[in-house]
Amino acid sequence: MSDRAPAGQFLDAAIDLLRRVRDEEADSIAAAGTLLADTVENGGRLFAFGAGHSSLAAQDLVYRAGGLALMNLLAVPGVVGVDVMPAPLGSALERVDGLASAVLDNSPLRAGDALLIISLSGRNALPVEMALHARALGVQVIGVTSVAYASQTRSRHASGTYLKDHCDLVLDSKIAVGDAELTHDKVPAPFAPASTVVTSALLQAVMATTATTLADRGIEPPLLRSGNVDGGHDWNAQVMERYRDRIFYRH
């Protein structure tokens, strides 16, 4: 570690990653925004899934001020966040064959919908199987992952493949294997993960593209407003009533 304060080092590392995403993923972000806009225009529904800490970026898209009202969380019991006890159970469930198929078969997802699958490593059975099965159902899949893992780790899916191999579009977060930006000569392990910051920003860039793409087509994007501004609750109630058949977090 250099003489610079660790906070500054981490923030600089995160900013560098965001710049890489901005410069290197621009075409993929535009394509993902267009795919979601097409889905909305054609009457499809939007879903997001992430396991463990990858779920944070998925949850950041759902029912939030300035976000698309149509984005729904695809929840898998035991893997959405770290509230499961014991916490390592969530990691173990990501490696269980058949879990993704069971979830999808009992979910509202159908042909014509779009699913964002967020998995930093993209190597576990759950995200790989989810992408495979979702596409077989006619769902379009956008994978959000660190492509570097595919060349530096072994897949945990029986096929030997990764999430990136089964998507209509892939967004590369550029996060290094291990997800830790800093080291210190007195600390035995690298630390300071940046995947949540970068992945959330990457996905919000996609959402911004989706909203403006719809607007440019003459379609009002179904956006939510903050409930903490005057009129926000009434606005949101109208949006959710209009799109009630495509919103599942109210049921």
**Model pTM score:** 0.93
Query: What is the distance between the alpha carbons of residues 47 and 117, in angstroms, rounded to a whole number?
Result: 9
- Average model confidence (pLDDT) across the chain: 93
The token pair at 24 is 């290197």
| Cβ-based neighbour number of residue 230 at 10 Å | 9
Averaged pLDDT, 23-52: 97
Does residue 251 register a pLDDT over 70?
Answer: no
Q: How far is CA 142 from the centre of its chain?
A: 9
pLDDT tens-digit readout, 178-212: 999 999 999 999 999 999 999 999 999 999 999 99
Q: Write down the pLDDT at residue 29.
A: 98
Contact of 173 with 144, CB cutoff 8 Å? yes
Give the pLDDT score at 172: 98
Q: For residue range 101-123, what is the model confidence (pLDDT) as tens digits?
A: 998 999 999 999 999 999 999 99
* 212, two tokens: 């403006």
> How sure is the predictor about 83, in pLDDT bands with cuts at 50, 70 and 90?
low
Residue 87 has a pLDDT of: 76
CA atoms within 13 A on the CB side of 90: 19
